[in-house]
Amino acid sequence: MIVLAAHYQGKSGQGDAIEAALRRMAPLVKEHEPGCTLYQAARSQEHPDQFLLYEHYVDEAALLAHRETAHFKEVIEGTILPLVEQRERQIYTLVVS
C-alpha cells in the first residue's frame, strides 16, 4: 500500500476556494479510482489556508494513474495549484493499518 501525504500552503485568503475544490475532488476520486482506497483532506484550525491531504493507493501504478485523470488535471492542477504558494508531497509505504 502506497501512502501519499501532501501539505498545501494556500495563498492568503484562498482557503475557502481550496476547500471547495477539494470537496469537488473527493467524490470524483471515489467514483473513478478503484486503486485509491482512502482520500482525505483536512484544513488547519489555526491556519485556514493550510491543508493536509492523506491518500492510500493499492500500488504505485494506482498513484501514477491518479495523476493522469481528467479530474486531477482539472481540480488539482487547474484550480487548486494556482491558489497555492507551496506544495510538499511525501510518499510512504504503509507499515501498519
The model's pLDDT over 39-74, given as tens digits with 9 standing for 90+, comes to 999 999 999 999 999 999 999 999 999 999 999 999
Dihedral of CA atoms 58, 93, 63, 45 in degrees, nearest 10, equals: 110
CATH at 52: 3.30.70.100
The residue range of the domain holding 16 is 2-93
Distance CA 82, CA 85 (A): 8
**CA atoms of 27 and 21, how far apart (whole Å):** 11
pLDDT of residue 24: 98
* Residue 75 confidence (pLDDT): 98
Q: What is the rounded distance in angstroms from the CA atom of residue 36 to the CA atom of residue 69?
A: 12
- Scanning 1-97, the segments in alpha helix (DSSP H) are 15-32, 60-67, 70-71
Is the pLDDT at 97 greater than 90? The verdict is no
Q: How many domains does the chain have?
A: 1
pLDDT of residue 83: 98
| pLDDT per residue as tens digits for the range 17-33 | 999 999 999 999 999 99
